[in-house]
Amino acid sequence: MISLFKCEFMKTRRRYVFMTAWAILAAFLAWIYPRHQSADLLRLGWMENLYELPLVNAIFMPLLSIIVSSRLCDIEHKGYMLKQLAVTEKRGKIYDAKLIYGLAIMMSCVMISWGMTIAFGYHVGYQGGVPIKLYLFYLLFTAVPTISVYLFQYTLSLCFKNQAIPFFVGAMGTFLGTFSMFLPQFPWLRRSLIWGYYGALSFVGLFGWTKENRYQYAHFDVIGIDWLSFIILVFVCVGMYLIGREIFKRKEL
């Protein structure tokens, strides 16, 4: 397995996969960076992040998954490398090595974005201490949906030589998942789409906001964690891994 990881690094070091992922992450951070904050938002800043960031994650993390998985798999299709690798290594190991390598890139971006979000809060002067327990929940509920989306995109990119197909499917899924976040009255819609779990696992609500007073009398509060959705998503991740691995093992190269 170690030799496969080294092989992945050697194949991708000149394709700047990490640099591409971090460039998208930089765009994500530029989007969320609070350039100007009123006194009310400084008071509410830590909780406001937990309220707003799941929507931003639902847009950027699937996009990142599409690009990383496509760049990692496209090199195999162009050079017919999968057939050559399958001669020397079992297909299951090939699938696992490329998956772990891609997930390492994705999780590095998730961790950096999480850390920078907290650093931004301290930089602009959010009032009060960071609610670290809630931010750890936020990290967990960002990482697991991202893993599920990446698993899906990775399997598609590995099985289709034409990378336009995974890109189209991922773009449509991202749109539908983001759209489902604006329909909280239909929780089943979020649970039926892996892209919708960023919204299904959001746990902070906004109360008291009005058009006239805006955030003056507003407050954010924890509305409860949907552990059922989390458990469903964990099982979906395991199922997608097992099914995707089996599909690749049976695929004609």
pLDDT for 141 equals 94
Residues 6+ apart with CB under 8 A from 173: 62, 149, 152, 193, 194, 195
The answer to whether 249 and 95 have CB atoms below 8 angstroms apart is yes
pLDDT for 79 equals 65
pLDDT for 206 equals 78
pLDDT for 146 equals 95
- CB-based burial, 129-153: b 16+ in 10 Å, e otherwise: eeeeebbebbbebbbbbbbbbbbbb
Residues 6+ apart with CB under 8 A from 8: 72, 97, 98, 101
Residue type (1 letter), 177: G
pLDDT for 49 equals 86
Tell me the whole-structure pTM to 2 decimals. Answer: 0.89
pLDDT for 103 equals 92
pLDDT for 134 equals 92
Return d(Cα 93, Cα 143) in angstroms, integer: 23
pLDDT tens, the chain, 253 aa long: 666 656 666 666 666 777 788 888 888 888 777 655 667 677 777 888 888 889 889 999 999 999 999 888 877 767 667 777 766 777 778 888 889 988 998 999 999 999 988 988 888 878 878 899 999 999 999 999 999 999 999 999 888 888 889 899 999 999 988 888 888 777 778 888 899 899 889 888 877 666 666 666 677 788 888 899 999 999 999 999 999 989 888 876 6
